[in-house]
Amino acid sequence: MINPIDLIVFLVYMIAIVAFGSSFYFRNKDSEAYTSGGGRLPSWVVGMSIFATFVSSISFLAIPGKAYLSDWNAFVFSLSIPIASIMAVKFFVPLYRSINSISAYTYLERRFGLWASRYASICYILTQLMRTGSILYLLVLPLNLMFGWDIATLIIITGLAVIFYSLLGGIQAVIWTDAIQGIVLIGGALVCAALLLFGMPEGPSQLFEIGTQNEKFSLGAFDLNISESTFWVMIIYGLFINLQNYGIDQNYVQRYMSARSEKEAKSSALFGSLLYVPVSMVFFFIGTALYSYYSAQPDLLPEGTAADKVFPHFIVNALPTGITGLLIAAIFAAGMSTVSTSINSTATIILTDYYKRMNLKTSERSNMKVLYIASLVFGLLGIGVALAMINVKSALDAWWSLASIFSGGMLGLFLLGYFSKKAQNFQAAIAVCVGLLVILWMSLSPMIFTDGPMEYFKNPFHVNLTIVVGTTAIFLVGILLTVSRIGQDRQSIV
């Protein structure tokens, strides 16, 4: 059970954060303020919010769990972030600022028609639903160790609290609280890393000796095996998923639009994304350090502890009094902010891309009502997904697999529209159909074609490559159809 002082620190921090976030309720006088903050937020706050959105409880708890269970292969994902963020700043941020729409998918509607924005927005909503469930699940693990309460009960209580917080604060509360959580989480991670490093029985060198002996620092194999999580599979997956995150994800687009200018939006995107690389290295180091720490002192870790629960166990049992309460509160509040971001962005899409499309004459009262209802429904669905994740082996693997599948290769449609100015509605629609068939085959064939002659048709690619192959299929098919159409048009003219 948690020390009373840690409990007091936890409660005081949580009350202060919730009160601070809820205070923005009085600034949300209309739907624009609720979804973009009126485009008046400082660049450093937006940048820290972008960083904190990417971190969340998925990074803070799942990455150490992943490193503890295996090695640093997943860190290769972080190495692709600089490339993806630079591309996003060069191509996508100016695009969204020029369109001046809070929805990331307005561009697709103008480029290819209503069906394109519908396709992308549905893919986005499904992806965020999986993300919300993953974060809610990871969010309650420290509380489960603190109080011994049932995980399912904690998920429900926490989920309802996040829904309430989301309904009150809007995007301004999310961004400002994100900035606070980001600073606290970085400090907490550094403290944990230092305590693990200098808490080894035989000194810091023992940590590296145990880790090296068990290949815990490995970045993965460098061969060209497409069915395993090799270095190359992770770098390619990371490039595509991060380009999707920083380029077309509604969570980030709302932040680009909340900055004061295009220049500040670009600097915020670069700052928030590049900060994640060294911080994620600290998270992987913590996971490896936990392995060495408990390998050297196995009596300190209960037998059979799941990988995702090892770091929460360390936080509750090994950190100094007061630091435990503060760090758990920061993780909890950061997770709340991240889930609140997903809820807010999804509600924004429902309002902008669906409700306003069906109702040309809307009032601010009806707009706010839609935002509230959409937030409530989405939050409840997220609780359901979190409950379904209780027995997964690794929450990080589950999240990455689901994100890769539900993203639907929508990045390919964006790239086709942006880089192929002559691609038209028909070519794009056919390309998306082909891409969806490829994604369905990659996702379902391992479960359907398990033995016999049909096993030959099973997907040979690693599950993380679903987004890569789906995106590439949509882009290349669209390009080929466009080139073919242009050739036919020239022949008909001749």
Q: Are residues 260 and 291 part of one domain?
A: yes
Q: Are residues 251 and 211 part of one domain?
A: yes
Q: Which domain holds residue 170?
A: 4-391
On whether residue 322 sits in a domain, the answer given is: yes
Residue 177: give its domain's CATH number.
Answer: 1.20.1730.10
- The closest alpha carbon to 252, from 35, 50, 34, belongs to 50
Q: Are residues 371 and 491 part of one domain?
A: no
Domain boundary among 366, 391, 416: 391
Percentage of residues of the chain with pLDDT beyond 70: 91
**By the 8 A CB rule, do 108 and 414 touch?**
yes
Kindly tell me if the per-residue pLDDT of 401 is higher than 80.
no
On whether residue 159 sits in a domain, the answer given is: yes
Kindly tell me if the per-residue pLDDT of 360 is higher than 90.
no
Number of domains comprising the chain: 2
Domain boundary among 362, 391, 420: 391
**By the 8 A CB rule, do 458 and 397 touch?**
no
Higher pLDDT residue, 367 or 274?
Answer: 274
Higher pLDDT residue, 297 or 166?
Answer: 297
Q: Are residues 436 and 359 part of one domain?
A: no
Q: Dihedral sign, CA of 320, 321, 326, 327?
A: positive
On whether residue 396 sits in a domain, the answer given is: no
Query: Tokens in use for 427?
Result: 């070519």
Q: 193, exposed or middle or buried, with CB in 10 Å at 0-12, 13-18, 19+?
A: middle
Residue 169 C-alpha from the chain's centroid: 20
Mean of pLDDT values over 109-129: 88
> What is the distance between the alpha carbons of residues 399 and 384, in angstroms, rounded to a whole number?
15
What is the pTM for the complete model shown?
0.82
On whether residue 337 sits in a domain, the answer given is: yes
Domain boundary among 391, 422, 453: 391
Which of 22-36, 50-64, 177-191 is modeled with the greatest confidence? 177-191
> What is the distance between the alpha carbons of residues 156 and 158, in angstroms, rounded to a whole number?
6
The per-residue pLDDT for 57 is 59
Q: 155, exposed or middle or buried, with CB in 10 Å at 0-12, 13-18, 19+?
A: buried
On whether residue 398 sits in a domain, the answer given is: no
DSSP state of 41: B
pLDDT in tens, 439-453: 888 887 877 787 777
The per-residue pLDDT for 431 is 93
Mean of pLDDT values over 122-138: 84
Mean of pLDDT values over 47-76: 83
Mean of pLDDT values over 219-246: 89
> What is the distance between the alpha carbons of residues 237 and 77, in angstroms, rounded to a whole number?
7
Q: Are residues 386 and 414 part of one domain?
A: no
Range 277-281 contact pairs with CB under 8 angstroms and sequence separation of 24 or more: 277/78, 277/79, 277/81, 277/82, 279/51, 279/55, 279/59, 279/186, 279/189, 280/59, 280/63, 280/75, 280/78, 281/75, 281/78
Q: Are residues 351 and 213 part of one domain?
A: yes
On whether residue 234 sits in a domain, the answer given is: yes
The per-residue pLDDT for 400 is 56
Q: Are residues 120 and 12 part of one domain?
A: yes
Residue-wise DSSP of 256-286:
HHHBSSHHHHHHHHHHHHHHHHHHHHHHHHH
> What is the distance between the alpha carbons of residues 431 and 471, in angstroms, rounded to a whole number?
10
> What is the distance between the alpha carbons of residues 113 and 106, in angstroms, rounded to a whole number?
9
Query: What separation in angstroms does the CA of 74 have from each of 11, 68, 230, 284, 469?
Result: 34, 12, 9, 9, 19
Q: Are residues 163 and 22 part of one domain?
A: yes
Residue 351 C-alpha from the chain's centroid: 22
Kindly tell me if the per-residue pLDDT of 393 is higher than 60.
no
On whether residue 141 sits in a domain, the answer given is: yes
Q: Are residues 190 and 63 part of one domain?
A: yes
Secondary structure (H, E, C), 202-239: CCHHHHHHHHHHCCCCCCCCCCCCCCCCCHHHHHHHHH
> What is the distance between the alpha carbons of residues 247 and 465, in angstroms, rounded to a whole number?
19
- The closest alpha carbon to 464, from 143, 231, 214, belongs to 231
pLDDT in tens, 191-224: 899 999 999 999 999 999 999 999 999 998 898 8
On whether residue 402 sits in a domain, the answer given is: no
Q: Are residues 460 and 368 part of one domain?
A: no
CA atoms within 13 Å, Cβ hemisphere of 292: 31
Q: Are residues 482 and 433 part of one domain?
A: yes
Q: Are residues 494 and 374 part of one domain?
A: no
Mean of pLDDT values over 390-399: 61
